[in-house]
């Protein structure tokens, strides 16, 4: 990318354009999440898919940590976990660290279904970058890292 060509553009206009593009990305991601949730199990609310997606990404945890991590209230998480458990997607086990605690994890069926649902979502984004060269992809990843606060310049 040739960044110097934009140095004379008003900063305010660039920030507006950034906001528009971020909104487009968030909207597209939300739409793909809804499609992936329906593909996972159309009888479930998208919030249940969010829980399954979290467990797939981060592994077993307890309900309180899951509620905090997903920004859901504990009663909603509890209700959704019961539903996911009854469908065979989530299991409960005694915590190895504290016999009184419960650890939630995906079952094999839950893992297989989430993998299938995510493949469709990921294919849309991968298609969009398929003609990028490695340098362009690297630059994009670095910019996202900076934007997300993981690396500072």
Dist CA 147 CA 140 (whole Å): 10
Residue 99 in tokens: 């016999």
Give residue 131's pLDDT band: very low, low, confident or very high (50, 70, 90): very high
| Backbone phi, psi, residue 134, to 5° | -60, -35
Q: Does residue 116 carry a pLDDT above 80?
A: yes
Q: How many CB atoms lie within 10 A of CB 99?
A: 7
Residue 90 in tokens: 């989530």
pLDDT digits (tens, 9 = 90+) for 63-82: 999 999 999 999 999 999 99
Give residue 1's pLDDT band: very low, low, confident or very high (50, 70, 90): low
Q: For 3-147, CATH number? A: 1.10.10.10
pTM: 0.74
Q: Does residue 99 carry a pLDDT above 80?
A: no
| pLDDT: which is higher, 100 or 149 | 149
Dist CA 121 CA 27 (whole Å): 13
Cα distances (angstroms) measured from residue 2 to each of 6, 7, 96, 133, 139 = 8, 10, 54, 15, 12
DSSP secondary structure code for residue 150 in this structure: S
Residue 116 in tokens: 């299938």
Which pLDDT value is given to residue 22?
Answer: 93
Which pLDDT value is given to residue 5?
Answer: 63
DSSP secondary structure code for residue 3 in this structure: G
């Amino acid at each position: 990318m040739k960044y110097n060509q934009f140095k004379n553009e008003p900063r305010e206009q660039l920030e507006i354009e950034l906001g528009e593009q971020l909104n487009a990305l968030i909207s597209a991601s939300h739409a793909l999440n809804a499609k992936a949730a329906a593909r996972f199990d159309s009888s479930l609310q998208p919030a249940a898919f969010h829980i399954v997606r979290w467990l797939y990404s981060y592994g077993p945890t307890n309900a309180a940590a899951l509620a905090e991590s997903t920004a859901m209230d504990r009663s909603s998480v509890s209700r959704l976990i019961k539903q996911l458990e009854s469908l065979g997607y989530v299991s409960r086990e005694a915590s190895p660290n504290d016999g009184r605690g419960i650890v939630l994890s995906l079952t094999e069926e839950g893992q297989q279904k989430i993998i299938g649902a995510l493949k469709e979502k990921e294919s849309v984004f991968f298609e969009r970058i398929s003609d990028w060269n490695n340098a362009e992809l690297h630059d994009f990843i670095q910019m996202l890292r900076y934007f997300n606060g993981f690396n500072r310049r």
